């Protein structure tokens, strides 16, 4: 198995080595679990919903909010990455998606997803919001 592309390894508190492979194989497993077809749908599934809020300067911005949908999709993505890593190495799949929920709790989302390329929808939508505000906000003469 290529341990350079999307490979992550962690040692859990119980001493077990957790191997994850975030790559096309994991993405395909996730798509099958969620019933998705396009990469756009998969990217959307792994992106937090955005709600309108205000930044430190009081400007309107979009901020991510954690939803049950996002938590489920994240859990299934971590499970998919672990399953793919086990499959390509011929190791047993002696875990389930709920174990993945425990791994997320123990290791943390930031550590697990570090280096995983998920599009930043917040930045894209904030750019659109700023463009819309600029176009619709009257400017002093």
What confidence tens digit (pLDDT) does each residue in 28-40 have? 999 999 999 999 9
Annotate 68-103 with b (16+ C-beta within 10 A) or e (fewer): eebeebbbbbbbbbbbbbbbeeeeeeebeeebbbeb
Predicted local confidence at residue 128, as pLDDT: 54
pLDDT at residue 141 greater than cutoff 50: no
Taking the CA atoms of residue 88, residue 103, residue 93 and residue 29 in that order, the dihedral angle to the nearest 10 degrees is: -60
Going by pLDDT thresholds of 50, 70 and 90, the confidence category of residue 74 is: very high
- What mean pLDDT do residues 54-71 have? 90
Cα 58 to its chain centre, rounded Å, is 28
Angle (CA) 70-5-67 rounded to 5° is 5
Residue ranges per structural domain of the chain: 7-54+64-119
Question: What is the per-residue pLDDT across 83-111, written as a single tens digit (0 to 9) for each?
Answer: 999 999 999 999 999 999 999 999 998 89
Predicted TM-score (pTM) of this structure: 0.76
């Amino acid at each position: 198995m290529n341990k350079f592309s999307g490979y992550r390894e962690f040692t859990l508190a119980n001493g077990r080595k957790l191997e994850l492979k975030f790559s096309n194989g994991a993405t395909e497993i996730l798509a099958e679990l969620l019933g998705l077809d396009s990469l756009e749908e998969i990217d959307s599934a792994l992106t937090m919903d955005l709600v309108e809020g205000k930044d430190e300067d009081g400007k309107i911005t979009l901020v991510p909010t954690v939803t049950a949908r996002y938590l489920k999709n994240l859990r299934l993505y971590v499970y998919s990455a672990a399953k793919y890593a086990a499959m390509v190495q011929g190791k047993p799949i002696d875990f389930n998606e709920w174990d993945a929920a425990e791994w997320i709790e123990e290791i943390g989302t930031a550590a697990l997803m570090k280096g995983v390329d998920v599009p930043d929808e917040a930045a894209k939508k904030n750019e659109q919001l700023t463009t819309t505000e600029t176009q619709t906000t009257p400017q002093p003469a």
